[in-house]
Structure 1
């Protein structure tokens, strides 16, 4: 059965800090991949499989910029070309393993696992509020969630669950979230905005701004399905007659397999950049938030994997953005599936 994620898309393979001059093994889109840095600092990504006996190259080592298989010592250049077979003088002509296009924009290392020739036509997505890091301070975290990546997109495109799953974060005067002010849809992205009515600060808002809990503020929430690989949330606390405090969460969602997802999380703010206590407070809070979300999503995934189970969801108004995002993803998958089927037909007729 065809998975529900497109291959012709840039996905986050790792955080920049994770990739060094050693072999990092990771399963991405159900493909075994290794990543490492050459002496020049450039990141290399290649198939984690020796051409000889399918031994994982991640069990081997590096010899300079070359990868050495840990089974029979076969050696590969960074472009995947087999350059040495210790047991004989000659190397089988044309032997090698696949390598993958890489694009690094710290803190993310992006990878293209689809059609190689299409990578150059579609640059990795850019985050509109965080183009160069100017004025922002951030932390990062890597998580693994045993749930399909679309469940994560749908979850973060509808935050109305907070009253049940995260009641402590809701400002004290807000009983329900107002409807979305606007949902903007393009061919490949979905964005929404929501403004809350004025209310006093929640305890966590008071802690990260240093303002009294009696302070009154409105909140502007912006969520964007940037691509199948990326979701962003911008949350601005706008105090009456005062400053705005901006928070940004960037989620890189990369399928490990149809039932598991790597989450590359960046959390940033645009104020009090030198206050380490605020940084640590937000890091812990967002980690706990993500852990609670993970438990919910993994429970849903287990339900969907029950024998004979299928999705029988109903949708409500709050699902507008999530429904559109799912449709974009499935259109991309259908497009790839159709082109693959056509290629097989043409190849068979040759």
Structure 2
């Protein structure tokens, strides 16, 4: 179901305080905490004795004590104390997850720890650039499978109906899209020429009159999206030529973390090429984007519920070309990972037998 050899957002950095923070990723319970030096660590949220969540215990310095029989684990998952046993059982250990903190988010590697490469994290080239403003965004829980969210983020056309008062307008209804497969995912994009500026963006653009608008919807495996919005005076929109001096640029970074087959945790932030130090602009971005994403949430929750009904099969439209390509390649990668895991397991069994 999941591509495990990948980085997933477990929490916002500011969510991890002085205590134990439980969460779930890819169906696995995890507990996060800070050591005394501020470093964040992540362990399997289950004591190996009777699988009581460690998050129901307590943080003792840099160690986690189980709230059932006091088994205590260091930040790497090694048991350091077993009060009710004469010695520490050999199997008294819990899984420790490779972890990175970047862009204000806590990322966990959910697969083989030996393959955890920080260089494979999503790149945000504008991060820290003083010419770009940051809207810190937020997070929300969406009651749907994460693939319905990747579908949504590879579908520019939906804004014409779901986001009529914000990201969309009539211009977004029928303009054809270009679908491009990359080494890391799928891009769906289109230029819309000589159109009205959509409501959300109209409050920020500095030019008057119609625009050329680029919608760039990119989802990278397994479930990270970069949405680029370009608004430039009509007649000045080009892929290769220098940008107009009044061009509006917004790059929205979106991260979906599957909780389980029916629930997804959604994190995001936006970068913009204007008013980098204007807190009022950042607040408006945050409020309006939160409202628009709440519209998505309502639709996707209903889609998930509707797709569980087996009575009639769903149909696809031409606008589904990008999501279909993404799902097929992701399924291929998951199947390849499963085959590699099976081969490794069989090799281990064979070596043990001999």
TM-score (norm 2): 0.88
Change (3 A) 1:267 1:170: closer
Change (3 A) 1:202 1:344: closer
CA distance in structure 2 between the aligned counterparts of 1:162 and 1:172, rounded to whole angstroms? 7
Q: CA RMSD in A?
A: 2.3
Q: Secondary structure at the match of 1:329?
A: helix
Aligned with residue 213 of structure 2, among 212, 219, 222? 219
**Contact 2:160/2:170 (CA < 8 Å) preserved in 1?**
no
**Contact 1:234/1:248 (CA < 8 Å) preserved in 2?**
yes
**Contact 2:253/2:269 (CA < 8 Å) preserved in 1?**
yes
Determine if the alignment matches structure 1 residue 272 to structure 2 residue 287.
no
Number of equivalenced pairs = 341
Map of 1:17 onto structure 2: 14
Q: Secondary structure at the match of 1:228?
A: coil
Alpha-carbon offset, residue 330 of structure 1: 0.2
1:214-270, Cα deviation, whole Å (9 max, x unpaired): 522211221211221311101122135651111121111111001111111112322
| Gap runs ≥5 in structure 1 | none
Map of 2:77 onto structure 1: 80
Change (3 A) 1:341 1:203: closer
Aligned with residue 293 of structure 1, among 292, 296, 299? 296
Map of 2:176 onto structure 1: 179
Aligned with residue 57 of structure 1, among 21, 31, 54? 54
Determine if the alignment matches structure 1 residue 143 to structure 2 residue 144.
no
1:118-170, Cα deviation, whole Å (9 max, x unpaired): 223x7333335434444232212111111111110011100212222222236
CA distance in structure 1 between the aligned counterparts of 2:340 and 2:80, rounded to whole angstroms? 34
Map of 1:329 onto structure 2: 330
Q: Secondary structure at the match of 1:238?
A: strand
Q: Secondary structure at the match of 1:86?
A: coil
Q: Secondary structure at the match of 1:22?
A: coil
Change (3 A) 1:40 1:141: same
Change (3 A) 1:328 1:195: same
**Contact 1:82/1:96 (CA < 8 Å) preserved in 2?**
yes
Q: Secondary structure at the match of 1:46?
A: strand
CA distance in structure 1 between the aligned counterparts of 2:28 and 2:128, rounded to whole angstroms? 31
Q: Secondary structure at the match of 2:137?
A: strand
CA distance in structure 1 between the aligned counterparts of 2:308 and 2:199, rounded to whole angstroms? 39
Change (3 A) 1:301 1:170: closer
Deviates more, 1:149-158 or 1:199-208: 199-208
Determine if the alignment matches structure 1 residue 317 to structure 2 residue 322.
no
**Contact 2:153/2:218 (CA < 8 Å) preserved in 1?**
no
CA distance in structure 2 between the aligned counterparts of 1:223 and 1:175, rounded to whole angstroms? 13
Determine if the alignment matches structure 1 residue 188 to structure 2 residue 184.
yes
**Contact 1:234/1:246 (CA < 8 Å) preserved in 2?**
yes
Change (3 A) 1:57 1:242: same
Alpha-carbon offset, residue 116 of structure 1: 2.0
Aligned with residue 27 of structure 1, among 24, 44, 55? 24
CA distance in structure 1 between the aligned counterparts of 2:284 and 2:211, rounded to whole angstroms? 21
Map of 2:253 onto structure 1: 250
Which aligned pairs between 1:79-228 and structure 2 lie closer than 5 A?
A: 79-88=76-85, 90-120=87-117, 123-134=119-130, 135-169=132-166, 174=171, 176-180=173-177, 182-209=178-205, 215-228=209-222
Change (3 A) 1:166 1:51: same
**Contact 2:252/2:270 (CA < 8 Å) preserved in 1?**
yes
